[in-house]
Structure 1
């Protein structure tokens, strides 16, 4: 839980009483590789902070192909925010790419924290802004660059993640086939 508190303190102040209150609300959750944190067609029921592991946000396109939108790694929040906040069915899956350890908060506990801790909404707003900026930063080059450049950029930005993600997920994220990604990797070695 210390990791979660340290993460939150980057975005605002919490006193010891607030930290203790929040700590009581968080629960440990372990996901095995390929388990779902949340699923399309269901309402997201929890917010998590990743302590160990990588999750991916994905969906199935109209051809039934599995498409990876982005990855979320350690020390980041994970939630299908629209589904969670508005209690609507999700259109995406959040799936463990590796075995994961998280601290999670139920909808009820999250709302309880929000109602109790003064300044909580400000902290969460800053975290959401950071997450949105990261999403845009990760996706923007995928639109304008060729596949080799996209792969090299991914390797440069996320070198620690690259060896932990299956090639099929990385290929999907980069918008190429797995065989194309293999050729790209072979050509740059």
Structure 2
């Protein structure tokens, strides 16, 4: 719980009463590996702060191939924010890659916090901005790089994930086959 409050305090001040309200609204959730936090075709029910574990954002392309396009690990929020805030069906899946522990907020509780705590909308805006900036920072360089450089960038951006998630997810994220990833990994050892 302290990690969540410390995260919010990066973006604004909260008094003890406000912190207690946030903690009261937070629901601890445990998800097993492969469970979905949010599914394509369904309205995202929660925004969550990851205490333990790794999530991936993925979708199926028009050939039916599963594409991983982002990872979220400890100390970060996991949500399809646009769909959650608008309460419309998501176009992608948010899946637990490992067993996960998080603090989740329903849409009602998230809105109650915003409506009760003066300035929380600004804190939320800063949280969203940080999440989006991190996503762009981690994804943008991948577009113009060769496969080896993309893998090295992955290692830089997600240093704690390489031994925690399946290579098939990493290969999908990098836009290469698992066999190509194996060759790259052998070549840089």
Task: Check conservation: 2:53, 2:97, Cα contact below 8 A.
Answer: yes
Q: How far, CA to CA, are the matches of 1:156 and 1:6 in structure 2?
A: 24
- 1:84 counterpart SS class: helix
Aligned to 2:97: 97
Runs of 4+ in 1 over 4 A off after TM superposition: none
- 2:160 counterpart SS class: helix
Where structure 1 has 5 or more consecutive residues not aligned to the other structure, the ranges are none
Q: How far, CA to CA, are the matches of 2:149 and 2:22 in structure 1?
A: 43
1:12-58 deviations in whole A, cap 9, x for unaligned? Answer: 11000000111110010001111000000000011100000000011
Where structure 2 has 5 or more consecutive residues not aligned to the other structure, the ranges are none
Q: CA deviation at 1:83?
A: 1.3
Q: How far, CA to CA, are the matches of 1:85 and 1:159 in structure 2?
A: 31
Q: How far, CA to CA, are the matches of 1:130 and 1:92 in structure 2?
A: 21
User: In the TM superposition, what are the counterparts of 1:1-189 in structure 2 within 5 Å?
Assistant: 1-189=1-189
Task: Check conservation: 2:67, 2:173, Cα contact below 8 A.
Answer: yes
Q: CA deviation at 1:141?
A: 1.2
Q: CA deviation at 1:166?
A: 0.6
1:121-151 deviations in whole A, cap 9, x for unaligned? Answer: 1001111111111111111111000000010
Q: How far, CA to CA, are the matches of 1:140 and 1:84 in structure 2?
A: 24
Q: How far, CA to CA, are the matches of 1:126 and 1:98 in structure 2?
A: 28
Q: Kindly tell me the number of residue pairs found equivalent between the two proteins.
A: 189
